[in-house]
Amino acid sequence: MKEQVALQKILHLRYEELRIRNPLFSRRAFSKKLGLSAGAMSELFNGKRQVSLALAEKISDKLDLDPQERAELFSLFQKKRSVVRTDAIDPNYLQLSADQFRVIGDWYHFAILTLMRTKVFKSDASWIAERLGLSISVVTGALDRLKRLSVIAEDKDGRLRRSKTRYRTSDDVANISVRKAHSQYIEKAREALENLPVEKRDFTSLMLTLSPEQLPCAKEKIRKFQDDLSAELEKQPQSEVYQLCIHLFPLTKVKE
């Protein structure tokens, strides 16, 4: 029963988080996001459906649970089958994995790193929170995470600095944390489209024809454009952080 209750709590928590962002988000939409029928979703919500490890794994993927959350949930299923060795899971390793997942998956980590490159940056959590529209607790947690991963360091005077000049995730990797990040970027773009005047943003789209075998070439040119634009715009010290998103995807059903 513990595994069923644990998954039920995760579902309720994630659903409420989505409802906070979008009050019109329904349970039917949530069931579609999870790839479940509305009836199955209702049974899971009310604790009336037996939960298997396979179902828990499917839901974990759909909800982008981090390694720590997955390990805790899946261990409940393992305990049903056999006694789990206490030394089988290294908590330090799980902490590191969860930190890496969060840094890539939550947009504000790279936003903080980029903000650190501006001429106006202050090594103060409240200042960072105000500039990015975040709570101080979220910023403090993010800074601690970045320090644990040695992505940033703090000198004796309390000033923060980046350990590397550039960071980039791998291309063409179906990584859950990368997918989560892109989902958040799309949501931030939607907010900007609705709330920012046109002179403070730029939204354009291009509809074109191409063959699937041309996709690697298109990706290569997009990466080069991003690097060239970044190099050109960052020749002098800047004061703001902008997010550039380029989405290339098929509108037609691709024939295999």
Question: Residue 192: what residue type?
Answer: A
Q: Contact, 139 vs 129, CB < 8 A? A: yes
Domain stops at, among 89, 108, 124: 89
Does 255 reside within a domain?
no
Domain stops at, among 89, 114, 130: 89
The pTM (predicted TM-score) of the whole model is 0.67
**Does 244 lie in the same domain as 118?**
yes
Q: Could you tell me the residue range of the domain that residue 161 belongs to?
A: 90-250
Give me the pLDDT at residue 92, please: 64
Q: How many domains does the chain have?
A: 2
Does 210 reside within a domain?
yes
Give me the pLDDT at residue 82, please: 46
Give me the pLDDT at residue 247, please: 92
**Does 151 lie in the same domain as 58?**
no
Distance CA 177, CA 169 (A): 10
**Does 217 lie in the same domain as 150?**
yes
**Does 235 lie in the same domain as 181?**
yes
Give me the pLDDT at residue 204, please: 92
**Does 144 lie in the same domain as 80?**
no
**Does 105 lie in the same domain as 232?**
yes
Distance CA 76, CA 56 (A): 11
| pLDDT by residue, tens only, the chain of 256 residues | 688 888 888 888 888 878 877 778 898 999 998 899 988 888 888 888 888 888 888 888 888 887 778 888 888 886 554 444 444 555 666 666 778 888 888 999 999 999 999 999 999 999 999 999 999 999 999 999 999 989 999 998 999 999 876 666 666 555 678 888 888 899 999 999 999 999 999 999 999 999 989 999 999 999 999 999 999 998 888 999 999 999 999 989 887 6
Q: Contact, 97 vs 67, CB < 8 A? A: yes
**Does 100 lie in the same domain as 72?**
no
**Does 107 lie in the same domain as 64?**
no
Give me the pLDDT at residue 172, please: 56
**Does 98 lie in the same domain as 37?**
no
Give me the pLDDT at residue 220, please: 93
Domain stops at, among 54, 89, 124: 89
